[in-house]
Amino acid sequence: MRKTFIVLIASLFLTNCCRNDKTDKTAIPVIDGNWWQLTTTYPDISPYQFNEGDNKVCDFTIFQAKDSTWQLIACVRGTTYPGSTRFLYRWETKDLSDSLWNEKGVFLSTGTFPKPDGWGIARDTNMFKREGLLQAPHCIMFNNKYHL
C-alpha cells in the first residue's frame, strides 16, 4: 500500500513538473480606458496644514458600503498634525467611475494626549501608542461586518 502511494505521488509530481506546456495562462491585468481623478490634490484638513511640498495623500482603500456608496479612505501624511503627522481621510461617491468624489473629512485620527486634537479627539493611549501614527488602510468585509 505504501509503495503504491509513493509511486502515485511520484507520478503526479513528474507529470506536473515535466509538462512541456508552451501556453502561458497567467492572467495579466491591463488598464482598460483613460485615467480619471478621484479627489482634489489637497483636501481640507483644517485646522492643520500640509507642511511638505508634495501632496502626501497616499496608501488608500476603496470599498462599497452597505448603502451602495463607494468609500475611499487614504492616509494623509506630511502635515502639521501632532506627532507623526498622519491621519485617515475619507471621500464618497455613488458611482465608482465618478470624478472628484465628495470630501467627507477626517475618518480617523489618533487624537492627542492629554488634550484633544484640533478636531476634538483625545488619544486612547491603549489603542494608539503614538500620536499621528496611522498608515495604509485596508478594508474587508467578514461575517457581514467591515474591518479596517
Rounded to an integer, what distance in angstroms lies between the CA atom of residue 6 and that of residue 93? 57
Host domain of residue 135: 57-147
When divided into structural domains, the chain yields a total of 1
pTM, full prediction: 0.74
Residue located via cell numbers 509513493: 6
Instruction: Classify residue 45: in a domain, yes or no.
Output: no
Domain membership flag for residue 43: no
9 is a domain residue: no
Q: Is there a domain that residue 7 lies in?
A: no
- The answer to whether position 65 is within a domain reads yes
Contact 59, 135 (CB under 8 A): yes
Distance, first Cα to last Cα, the chain = 50
Q: What is the pLDDT of residues 77-122, one digit of tens each?
A: 889 999 888 899 999 999 999 999 999 999 999 998 889 999 999 9
Are the C-beta atoms of residues 40 and 103 closer than 8 Å to each other? yes
Residue 41 lies in a domain: no
